Amino acid sequence: MSVAININHALKKYGENVIIPDLNLKIKDGEFFTLLGPSGCGKTTLLRMIAGFNTIEGGEFYFDENIINELDPSKRNIGMVFQNYAIFPHLTVRANVEFGLNNRAFNKKDIGPMADKFLKLMQIFEYRDRMPENLSGGQQQRVALARALVIAPDVLLMDEPLSNLDAKLRLEMRQAIRDIQKEVGITTVYVTHDQEEAMAISDRIAVMELGEIQQIGTPQSIYHRPVNEFVASFIGRTNFVTADCDKNELNVLGHKVTVKDLDYKGKVKVSIRPEEFMLTDDNKAIKAIIKDTIFLGLNTHFYMELPNKQKVEIIKESMIDDENHTGKTVYLTINVDKVNVYTEDGAKNLVIAHEN
């Protein structure tokens, strides 16, 4: 049985230091939910409050309608997976997976088949009699996941489980984790500082900074409509260009464009993703000089300088006849459907304000 998690006005302090001032969060039953943010923003702290390994200085934590603030960690029925595999080095793979079952009141004859099921699901059945030291990092992490899931927890908590793996394994394991989570259907809270990983794996993401949630949404909504400058720059890559706004018209370095659902007067910061700049023949558009070109296979990245000396990054699909364009002058326009326009201080998205 998995549960919904409801957090009302959570407060975390270490001594006098307030780490999480006032956090509210609703995680749905069966959801793959990710806490994403830079190192030190409080992701692990919050996860440990859910697990019961941290004291809670204020607010209420619920699993469904049951308050868990005072519940012992062992009674929360949680499966956990950490960055450093935390599997027992002196136990075989099978004994590691069975470990949690032996401590619970299961019928002895059921334990073997239950372990088998998760050994197979995690594709480590063939390694069941090996010692952990004879497994790769990815295989060890599969053991940790099988051990966490075999106890049929209500909630699965994972703290940067892929950080110690190399790039290729990380991609493979993140797919494996997502597949297993969907198959088992367990409410999952996943912590990472890697925005690409978060986007690939999550149903919804909470972007955190300094103990506060900046935005909660699907990967798509967070990428396309970041609520503020912090989220826009933390999720994906973007260019910020200052502009003058008059109702729904933006004047970007002399180039005028109209943006839907915008109504503001004054200086603004426009966020333009590298893929949302378009080349044009119109010499009244934004003039740019190509300063550097980096070929990355599928795409080529162009680093350009605008008339105000600002540098921007532009990504285009690579062409077979791409030559060295460095030094060339080009003209740019912007995909107005996908730009985001922020107040000059970056605190508020002026486009999103008109949605919903």
Ligand X SMILES: Nc1ncnc2c1ncn2[C@@H]1O[C@H](COP(=O)(O)OP(=O)(O)O)[C@@H](O)[C@H]1O
In the complex, the residues that contact ligand X under the rule CB under 6 A are 14, 19, 37, 39-45
Task: Round to the nearest angstrom and report the end-to-end CA distance of the chain.
Answer: 34
State the minimum distance, in angstroms, from the CB of residue 163 to Mg ion: 9
H or E element in which residue 145 lies: helix 137-150
State the minimum distance, in angstroms, from the CB of residue 12 to ligand X: 8
CA dist 94 and 87 (Å) reads: 11
State the minimum distance, in angstroms, from the CB of residue 191 to Mg ion: 6
Q: Which is nearer to ligand X, 151 or 207 (CB)?
A: 207
Question: Residue 214 carries which DSSP code?
Answer: E
State the minimum distance, in angstroms, from the CB of residue 43 to ligand X: 4
CA dist 326 and 322 (Å) reads: 11
Six token digits for residue 308:
């105000």
* Surface-to-core class of residue 347, CB atoms within 10 Å of its CB (0-12 exposed, 13-18 middle, 19+ buried): exposed
40 binds, among Mg ion, ligand X, none (CB under 5 to 8 A by kind): ligand X
215 binds, among Mg ion, ligand X, none (CB under 5 to 8 A by kind): none
User: Distance between alpha carbon 9 and the CA centroid of its chain, in Å?
Assistant: 22
Question: Residue 132 carries which DSSP code?
Answer: G
76 binds, among ligand X, Mg ion, none (CB under 5 to 8 A by kind): none
Closest CB to Mg ion belongs to which residue? 44
Is 2 near Mg ion (CB under 5 A)?
no
Six token digits for residue 301:
């990245």
Q: Which is nearer to Mg ion, 3 or 80 (CB)?
A: 80
236 binds, among ligand X, Mg ion, none (CB under 5 to 8 A by kind): none
Q: Pairing relation of β-strands 204-209 and 32-36?
A: parallel
Q: Which is nearer to Mg ion, 42 or 217 (CB)?
A: 42
Residue 170 backbone dihedrals phi, psi, to 5 degrees: -60, -45
Q: Which residues in 23-62 contact Mg ion (CB under 5 A)?
A: 44
State the minimum distance, in angstroms, from the CB of residue 45 to ligand X: 3
Where do contacts with Mg ion occur on this chain (CB under 5 A)? 44
